[in-house]
Amino acid sequence: MARRMFELVEPVGVIPYSADEPNEAMFALGFTNYWDLYFAGRAAPLGLVPAEVVDALFYNFAPGEVARHIPRVWRTTTPELAIAARQIGCVKALRRILGDRVDSPAFARAAELLIKAATSAPFEGRPMYAALRAIPVPDEVVARLFHAASRIHHLPAAQLAAVIDGMRDRGLIGDDGWLSEQGRAVKQRIESLTDDLAARPYESLEPGELVELIATLEPLATLLLAAQD
């Protein structure tokens, strides 16, 4: 179930990176290069924090890369304006891709169910999720769906890239990049833990609500994935 919901919700949650409109909205704030607006948009829910805080969460970048952008980007705009611009751009992109489907009662119902799921998980070990939970839920229906998907996008706590690095250091990944038998067992445990963590928000939904949510999201996810291609 967790993996199926990931397939359906993730295309909404990654719309800031898969469509042009969010970037256009951020460029309108005064940014002149992609990476400035990337770090501003992604780090905005954290507020005015030092580069070290952002670096601790965006651990996959080269040393010093975060500090090239944070806090300098906040001389161009504010976290509040960055959050608003990204939301406006994402709503515009979703409306373009999904068309009149966003005006249906089923879409509004899906947004409410996803909000219910996205506000039910614990904060522990999930700093980005906690930061997004602190942002008020928007009133506009498409914005509500994106906001919920964005929260859920930041829920799984198993940081696979960091874990894989640790597996390589421990000899669980060979020089050819393939997992050893022991490495495959560790990876399976990681995947199972991630599935368990990712399932938590949907435990707040009744079985019938989950079926209803899946039925509405399936055609939307298909359209969003096709737009990415």
pTM across the whole model: 0.85
Whole-number percent of the chain with pLDDT over 90: 71
Query: Per-domain residue ranges for the chain?
Result: 2-157+209-228
pLDDT in tens, 178-212: 777 887 888 788 778 777 777 888 999 999 999 99
Predicted local distance difference test score (pLDDT) of residue 174: 57
Q: Are 88 and 25 in contact (CB under 8 A)?
A: yes
pLDDT in tens, 64-89: 999 999 999 999 999 999 999 999 99
What is the longest distance spanned by two Cα atoms in the chain? 54
Name the 3-class secondary structure at 110: helix
Angle between helices 34-43 and 20-27 (to 10 degrees): 100
Whole-number percent of the chain with pLDDT over 70: 90
Element (H, E) at 61: none
Q: Are 60 and 161 in contact (CB under 8 A)?
A: yes
The Cα 195–Cα 57 span in angstroms is: 21
- Write phi, then psi, for 180 (nearest 5 degrees): -75, 175
